[in-house]
Structure 1
Amino acid sequence: MATAIGEKIRAQRKRLKLTLDQLAEKSGSSKSYIWELENRPVIRPSAEKIARIAEVFGVTVEFLLDDAKQEFAESDADKVFFRRVTQLDANKRAQLEKFLKAIDDE
């Protein structure tokens, strides 16, 4: 029986249509490590590996670790979106602001 984190990793991987190999490559892990996270009843993942996997998925580490949350919560999506916006350079940020204003005025 998989853990809650294992179920979330599998669900997010499938949501993004990633294979075990692809997630392993993107997160700097091995395929067997990802398989173990998804399938073993007891796991002790490293904080660094979970942070990398969360980054690939565009979710927070807290989302993956929280046993109570079973679905991708809107608050997590918001956090990811705002984190991405803050990482934009000034030019791209200005373009995004213009775009948002244009669609808001419709």
Structure 2
Amino acid sequence: MSKDLGDKIKALRTAKKLTLEQLAEKCESSKGYIWEIENRGTRKPSGEKLMKIAKALDTTTEYLLDSSGSSSEVDAADTAFFRKYQDMPPKTKEKIRRSIDLLWEDED
């Protein structure tokens, strides 16, 4: 596993405003284990553990493992937002779309 995995996990975790402890609890790990993945890149999570981390961060294992080099904190925040958006009821989605349209109009 490369540092990219740790960078992506950390970016998603911070975008979701989760502490190390909160993420560790959500994926049945220890705070130290998550810290090592994020900061050292030396831990190699099992497939099962990686699936739990991905689920806790509302992303996919494919995204976490993709090493195409296109990841950034903004990309991670966008990914987390869109995952959450996909699960929203239609009325909420419509409100968000209208709000975005209003914000865009203010920019013009």
* Common topology (TM > 0.5): yes
SS at match of 2:76: coil
For structure 2, the 5+ residue unaligned runs are 98-108
Normalised to the residue count of structure 2, the TM-score between the two structures is 0.66
Normalised to the residue count of structure 1, the TM-score between the two structures is 0.67
Larger relative contact order (C-alpha < 8 A, sep ≥ 6)?
2
Match of 2:62 in 1: 62
Give the fraction of aligned pairs with identical amino acids, expressed as a percent.
40
Tell me how many residue pairs correspond in the alignment: 92
Match of 1:72 in 2: 76
Match of 1:50 in 2: 50
Letter in 2 for 1:17: K
Correspondence 1:1-106 to 2 at 5 A: 3-68=3-68, 69-70=70-71, 71-72=75-76, 84=87, 96=89, 99=91
What is the CA deviation profile of residues 58-99 of structure 1, one whole-angstrom value per residue up to 9, with x for unaligned ones? 1111000101130239788767766x58xxxxxxxxxx45x3
Q: Which aligned runs of 4 or more in structure 1 are off by greater than 4 angstroms?
A: 73-82
SS at match of 1:72: helix
Distance in 2, matches of 1:75 and 1:16, equals 11
Distance in 2, matches of 1:75 and 1:81, equals 10
